[in-house]
Amino acid sequence: MALYSAANVDFGGRYDMRRPPDVWRLDPRIAADAQLTSFYYANNQFDRGHLTRREDMEYGATRMQALVSAADTCHWTNCTPQHAQFNQNKQLWQGIERHLLEGAVELQSFRAQVITGPIFDAGDPSWSKYPEIQYPVKFWKVVAALTDAGRLFATANILDQSAVIEKLGIEKAREVPFGVFKTFQVPISEVERLTQLTFNGGPLKKPFSLTTVDPLASAILNMPKKPGGRSTRALGVDSSPAWRQLDALESMTVPS
């Protein structure tokens, strides 16, 4: 599975296209036996969850280029097991990008960088049919863009599917109450702590941390780095004041 998937999003050349069926394929840059493919998604409630959204790539100089770009998101290297009720929920997880990228900006000129990935943890569960393969239960998203005034900002969110899986399992389809979905807005430094990635902006020769343009910067706590192999659940991270649980997208902190 990918550590992260990164995309430049340009709504200036975006096409409004009807979505064809997803056709997933191997990434030719990586050995086939190192990719988690369709076998893991059979006879369970796992969806083939896009990291980079197909919709974010529906742009290009021509409609054909936009179709090719969008279809490129259907490589297994952009796919992570997500519970169907989690992946198909359009109110929060899928709604985060729609709210930030489509509802809060001028679409004709909007550009952003969207980076998405799973949080891998030593305590992650595995499916009984393939006990040697663990799957992540938390996912993160970092979005960097310009405000209408031309000021850079970046924001981070984490969504947790563990409650969905604990309540419903992955063997059978059932209805899921909205309340079991947990979506948090977190400081970018929290994503850095949990993934050991670093998010920078600016020129390569003189980068600066995106944490300095994070609207939640004031909520950053002085937390220790995640010890190697230790469970994030043991750290009680989602009970931290730095993790702001969202009950609606309108409660997200964004630049004024």
CATH class of domain segment(s) 5-251:
alpha beta
Whether the CB-CB separation of 140 and 133 falls below 8 Å is answered with no
The pLDDT averaged over each successive group of 10 residues in the chain (256 residues) is 89 76 93 93 85 86 90 94 68 62 55 90 89 91 81 86 69 40 81 93 90 75 46 48 67 65
Are the C-beta atoms of residues 62 and 70 closer than 8 Å to each other? no
Query: Residue 230: what pLDDT?
Result: 43
Quote the pLDDT of residue 161: 79
Are 191 and 140 within 8 A, CB to CB? yes
User: What are the domain boundaries of the chain?
Assistant: 5-251
| 3-20 per-position pLDDT tens digit | 999 998 877 777 777 878
Encode pLDDT of 83-115 as tens digits: 776 655 555 566 666 666 665 444 455 678 889
Give the other-Cβ count within 10 Å of 191's Cβ.
25
pLDDT of residue 78: 95
Question: How many angstroms separate the CA atoms of 101 and 88, rounded?
Answer: 19
The most distant pair of C-alpha atoms in the chain lies apart, rounded to whole Å, by 53
Predicted confidence at residue 61, as pLDDT, reads 86
| DSSP symbols for 27-52 | -TTS-GGGS--GGGGTTSSEEEEESS
The residues near 248 (Cβ < 8 Å, ≥ 6 apart) are none
Which residue type sits at 49?
G
